[in-house]
Amino acid sequence: MRHFLSLKDFSKEEILEMIGLARTIKEQAKKKDFVPYLQNQTLAMIFEKSSTRTRVSFEVGIYQLGGIGLFLSKNDIQLGRGEPMKDTARVVSRMCDMVMIRTYAQEKLEEFARYSQVPVINGLTDRYHPVQLMADYLTMIEYGKAENPVVAYVGDGNNMAHSWLMLASKLGFTLRIATPKGYEPDSEVVEDALEFAKGSGATIELGHDPRAAVRDADVVTTDTWISMGQEDEKDRRLKDFAGFMVDEALMGLAKPDAIFLHCLPAYRGYEVSEEVFESHADEIFDEAENRLHAQKGVMVWLDRKRSE
């Protein structure tokens, strides 16, 4: 049985298998051909952090695959009253066929997976957001940007930066990350990425100059500077991130046909300008929709691995 906790746990071939399934399922959905790959299965969706895209995409996704989604906020279950994560895992996994968790600490997710009898999917933690990167890569394929791309990530060295490091180092493309000083990605994640890159041929570049990162890039991406739980740091962060907004001047350094991606929600005037966001809205909202299709690919893949 396999879990989907981080892209570091998968080979290039496995990631592409999941993406291939997502593309097939998306094409079927366009024709209103909803194949019940997970007929009568139940997906438990545990949310310790609120969400728009994660909840909608997983709930609609499991329904379209022939199953049912069960939404569980921390206020709905005993986890919110102090029940150990391992006990929640042992209970929920006896009653459901798959579990998605959106939480804070990666360690809590990994503890749940250790005690779970069914596949567990990372819907987001403070360390990684792997389902988002599956959607991002699916979008890159659809826009013709998946063949030896140069990807520039500008902003906070957070869970999105960590996930881009894992994707690039596994698939073997060039990733340039530019962060303010003091906001670099976690050193352990970087070390893992550099090690994976030795096998894949990926090029990983870390720095503090957004212009150098974006110059001649095929894909430019960013994320909010103030994630959930960091609101008390807003004033300091806005000062520290001065010069890191992806505006028209910065985006103009990328290739003329470069695409811009954002995992949303986007805060115009902070990490991205209104002009850049709206001029690349098609890509951004295709990317948002692809959460639905990419996650269906992940769920079907995990179910097949469990049956092997």
Domain containing residue 13: CATH number: 3.40.50.1370
List the domain range (segments joined by +) for residue 100.
7-129+291-307
| 36 located within any domain | yes
Tally of CB atoms within 10 A around 306: 13
Does any domain span residue 208?
yes
Tell me if 47 is assigned to some domain.
Answer: yes
- Does residue 145 share a domain with residue 125? no
- What are the residues whose beta carbons fall under 8 Å from the beta carbon of 222, sequence distance 6 or more? 153, 154, 155, 244, 246, 262, 271, 272
Mean pLDDT of the chain: 96
One domain, residues 279 and 147 = yes
The two beta strands, 219-222 and 98-102, are: unpaired
| Residue 305 to residues 18, 99, 119, Cα–Cα distance (Å) | 11, 15, 10
Residue 228 has pLDDT above 70, yes or no: no
In this structure, the answer to whether residues 159 and 243 fall within a common structural domain is yes
CA 257 vs CA 144, 208, 252, 286, 302: distances in Å: 10, 24, 10, 16, 35
* Domain presence at residue 230: yes
Residues 217, 258, single domain; the answer is yes
Say whether both 137 and 272 belong to one domain.
Answer: yes
| Residue 84 shares a structural domain with residue 200 | no
How far is it, in rounded angstroms, from Cα 237 to Cα 11?
36
Give a yes or no: residue 216 inside a domain.
yes
For 85-119, write each residue's pLDDT tens digit: 899 999 999 999 999 999 999 999 999 999 999 99
Provide the annotated active-site residues: 102, 129, 132, 223, 263, 291
Given this model, what pLDDT does residue 75 score? 81
In a domain, 172, yes or no: yes
Task: Tell whether the model's pLDDT for residue 10 goes beyond 70.
Answer: yes
Residue 2 belongs to some domain of the structure: no
123 and 137 fall within a common domain: no
Flag whether 245 is in a domain.
yes
* 15 in the same domain as 137: no
CA distance 271 to 56: 25
| Domain total of the chain | 2
- Please state, for a pLDDT cut of 70, what percent of the chain lies above it: 98
> Does one domain contain both 240 and 141?
yes
Q: pTM of the prediction?
A: 0.96
